[in-house]
Structure formats: structure tokens, C-alpha cells
Structure 1
Amino acid sequence: MGKIIISTNSSFDGVVQDPDGTDGFPRGGWFDQVIADDRPEWAQYFVKEALGASALLMGRTSDAWFASRWLDRTGDWADKLNAMPKYIVSSTLEHTAWSNGTIIGSDLATEVAKLKHEIDGEILVYGSFQLGHALIEQDLVDEIRVMLLPVLAGDGVRLFGTTAGIRPLRLTHTATVGSGIVSLTYEVVREG
């Protein structure tokens, strides 16, 4: 059975919006302002994560964003990401931008539950903060991995939106990545 894992970079105050500054958000670009010497260790973490994953799940905007950055790359990380099956949640797309993509329609709960039964291993959610909010709200997320970067963005869309109820989490792993990044892994706690 598959596990849905949200894996993302976040500012210290929880902002996930426009980390590279390409979306025109006035506070965007915070990632490159602080990654500096920690980039090799940061990349090593995500390479290892990708190599252990079975699939990617994302929204249409993230599909286009990642495709524009990864399709022309080579190497272990790029080869794995480009070859991995991708499931794109969209009610408007006819074709995915990235390779090996399958469009999931509007019945998110049914389609993602089906994916979890069909795919063995980790199904990573990269970017796609709106999708992440919906997955959390529908109790489809099994684990959350956050790379907490040493910067206060001050404003912007945050990793966690308003939820209909309390969502207990259990810390399962922490690590320092480079000299200034903290990796946090939480398991979603379900009753029963």
C-alpha cells in the first residue's frame, strides 16, 4: 500500500509560496537568499528521497513548473524524477507537461485512495500547496516532510491552511541539513 507524503521547503514562518521568485510574488525568492553553502546537502537529501519514491502526485501548476526545470536535465536525480509515474490533479488539463503523467479528475478522495491501494511505496507531493491542503483536509496524507529554511518570509501562502479539525502529528525524524536547514518528518496520527 502506498503512503502519501507531502515533501516541501518552507520558510521558518511556514511560507511555501514562490520560493524561487519566478511567480512575481513580492516576497518570493526567499529560498535562494538563504540556501548558499547548504545547497549540496539539501540536494543530497532530495536525491535520496526521490530515489526511494514510487510516484509523484501534484497539481497542474507544479506539473508545469517541475517539467520546465527537469525534462532537459540528466543524472541520477533527474533521471529518477523524469521516469517516475506522475499523477496530476486537474479538472482542466488534457495532457500533462511532465513525462509519464496521468491526469486525475475532480474526485480527489476516490482517486487518491485508489492510488494508495495500487502503488506500493512512497507517493511524494512536491509543491502543490493547494493540493496539499485538500489532501490534509480529506485525511489522505500519511506523512509530512518539511525542510525548514532559516528565513522569515513574513507573508504568503503557508504550508498549512485552515482545517475542519485538529490533526495530530507524531515527530519521527529530525536532522540538520548543512549548517542552517532543519529537516522535520511527522507521521499523521489516526485514531484506531
Structure 2
Amino acid sequence: MGLLTFSINITLDGCIDHQEGIADDETHAFFTKLMDESGAMLWGRVTYELMESSWPAVARGDTEAPPALREWALKIDAKPKYVVSSTRTDFPWNNSHQLNGDLRTAIQQLKDATPNGVLLGSGKLATELDRLDLIDEYKFLVQPRIAGHGPTLYERGLPSTRKLEFISATPLRCGAVAMHYQRAH
């Protein structure tokens, strides 16, 4: 069984707006490594649509991009992508699949079928999956910024405090820190 890893950019005040993260070669390499190590990506519909709006065109060569971004686009295009959505059923981007039925069952089956693990990159979906005790580890890229706005991590709340075990912290040159935690047992 593979692990479900939640990874996202987060500012010091908890903002998870994707535009608030530093996008440089080192932060890009951090997320590329996470994707390379995982067997599949997992997103909610909003995150899927954000990614779908740009990366397929870069992968096809329809949009100009530096070599590193084109490499990312080709990798994410090839990676299996699973989407949780109750409002959309058509996911035409290469290797995209909708998860249907009971959320707990669907995610557990995905974890069981993906020995290299599943990388979750959606804040709202993470809240729902954490409520179901399905997230195994957290790899946050903490940005050296205070955004002063939302959306924020777990803004819809959890039923109780989630206790985590520290694994590692890796500072990046831009001032961000890659934090790795796993669920405490």
C-alpha cells in the first residue's frame, strides 16, 4: 500500500494561494522530485482545472516555456492524475481519471493500488481526507511571506488536533523551508 502525501505551498500565516509561493528553480525542483517519487497525483476539481489550464499546452509545445518547465509539463502529462469532483465528469487531460463513489473507499483503493504513493495537492480536498484519517504524511513548502489573506490551510476546520511526528526540515536559498511530517501513531 502506498502512502497519501499532502504537499502544498503555505505562507507563514497559513495562506495556500498558489500565487503566494516563490517560483524559482529550487522550489520547482522540490515539487518535481515529489512528483517523480509518487505513483499518482490527486486533486480536487478546482486544482485540476488550474493545472489543466496551462500544463497540457506546454507539454504539447503549443505554449513557449523554458526547458525545465517543459520537462515538468511532460512529466505531469504522463503521470496518472485522479480527480475528486461532484460537478464535473469529463476529464480529457491525458491520464486523468475521476474517483467515484464513497470518498473513503475510493481513496483507500487508490492508495492500495499505488505502491509508490499518491501525492495530494489540493487544500480543500486535504481537509476532507484528513477528516477521514487518510493522509499519511505532509510535505509543506513554507514560504517566507505573510500574505494577509486566504484561502488558508484547513479553514473549514478539523474535528480534533492532528498530532504529527517531525521527519525533516530543509531550508532553500530563497528562504522557504521544506517541512516533512508524518502522522503520529
TM-score normalised to structure 1 length: 0.85
State the match for 2:93 in structure 1.
Answer: 98
CA distance, structure 2, for counterparts of residue 47 and residue 13 of structure 1: 25
Is 1:12 aligned to residue 12 of structure 2?
A: yes
1:160 and 1:188 map into 2 onto residues whose CA distance is 16
Percentage identity across paired residues of the two chains: 30
Check whether the contact 2:111–2:117 (CA below 8 A) recurs between aligned residues: no
1:54 aligns with 2:49: no
Summarize the alignment of residues 159-178 of structure 1 with structure 2, pairs less than 5 Å apart.
159-161=153-155, 162-178=157-173
Q: Could you tell me how far 1:152 is from its partner in structure 2? A: 0.7
Gaps of 5+ in 1: 21-29
Q: 1:97 to 1:157 in 2, by over 3 A?
A: farther
* In structure 1, distance between residues paired with 2:32 and 2:151: 26
Counting matched residue pairs gives 174
Superposed counterparts of 1:32-43, under 5 Å: 35=22, 39-43=24-28
Q: CA deviation at 1:160?
A: 2.5
The residue matched to 2:29 in structure 1 has which SS?
helix
The separation in 2 between residues aligned to 1:89 and 1:98, in whole angstroms, is: 15
> Could you say what the CA RMSD is over the residues aligned between the two structures, in angstroms?
1.5
Aligned 8 A contact 1:83 1:99 in 2: yes
1:158 aligned residue (148, 152, 157): 152
Question: 1:121 corresponds to which letter in structure 2?
Answer: N
Q: Show structure 1 runs of 4+ deviating over 6 A.
A: none
Q: Classify the secondary structure of the residue corresponding to 1:158.
A: coil
SS in 2 for 1:63: helix
Query: Shift in Å at residue 157 of structure 1?
Result: 2.2
The code of the aligned residue for 1:6 comes to: F
Task: List gaps (5 residues or longer) in structure 2.
Answer: 60-69
Distance 1:148 1:42 in 2: 11
Q: 2:119 aligns with which of 112, 124, 137?
A: 124
Tell me if structure 1 keeps the 8 A contact 2:16–2:123: yes
Amino acid at match of 1:49: L
Which of the residues 35, 49, 57 maps onto 1:72? 57
Rounded Cα–Cα distance in structure 1 between residues aligned with 2:78 and 2:47: 17
CA distance in 2, matches of 1:149, 1:106: 36
